[in-house]
Amino acid sequence: MSLVQTDNLCKTYHPETVPVHALRDVSLTIERGEFTSIVGPSGSGKTTLLNMLGGLDLPTSGVVRVDGIDLGGMRDGQRIAFRLRNIGFVFQHFNLIPVFTARENVAFVMLLQNRCKSDMLRRTDALLDAVGLSDRKDARPRELSGGQQQRVAVARALASEPKFILADEPTANLDSESAMNLLDIMERMNRDQQATFVFSTHDPRVIERALRVVTMVDGAVVKDERHGDE
């Protein structure tokens, strides 16, 4: 069974006034351990697709299944609980809780999962070490650079031991060096921990490093290629 599967996913905004077709019949499968990039021009539906995959929004028609479970069949509260256990998120902005330190931000999702304190502390430290922020654990987001903040976000996304991580333009606000650093970390997590990443991007340097590239235009998938296949 595929980790994520979408069948004929459609999303239409303002269907009764001026319909905007953000997604058109998107059928896609994501397997465990994949490092997938969703690419395409602005307005092509990348973010809408990621929102559907993460259960942040519901399709107008079609189905999203994660591990065989239909996200559309859940009540809102169930979807939140499902995300907590199964999906990690890295956003472009507003990624971290500004009043928490890096350590607290990473630990927060585990607190929501009611994990035991010792496990939480051990995992938090290990994740922050892994993303190269051993010496910035007690810094608040405003004391961190954009790249460091995104690294904390990746650590937090991994903290809940999710089935997959969705990252929407994670490098968009980063300089080249920080972007490459972040990608290094994501790749390492993918390789070493078998973490599944699905991320959207415009950046050709990021696209180059993805193992699979799904290209979207006008809400439809127009190309789906695996670099390993070439």
Q: Which residues bind to other proteins, rule: CB under 8 A?
A: 47, 50-51, 54, 56-57, 76-77, 80-81, 83-85, 88-89, 91-95, 97-100, 104, 108-109, 111-113, 156, 160, 168-169
**What is the rounded (10 degree) CA torsion for 38, 224, 30, 204?**
-30
Cβ closer to other proteins: 207 or 211?
A: 207
CB of 230 to other proteins, least distance (A): 30
Name residues whose C-beta falls within 8 Å of residue 167's C-beta, 6 or more positions apart in sequence. Answer: 89, 90, 154, 157, 186, 197, 198, 199, 200
CB of 51 to other proteins, least distance (A): 6
Cβ closer to other proteins: 34 or 168?
A: 168
Q: Using an 8 Å Cβ cutoff, are 150 and 182 in contact?
A: yes
Give the type of residue at 153: A
CB of 98 to other proteins, least distance (A): 7
Cβ closer to other proteins: 63 or 91?
A: 91
CB of 93 to other proteins, least distance (A): 5
What distance in Å separates the CA atoms of residue 19 and residue 2, rounded to the nearest whole number? 32
Q: Kindly report the number of other CB atoms within 10 A of residue 137's CB atom.
A: 16
Cβ closer to other proteins: 111 or 226?
A: 111
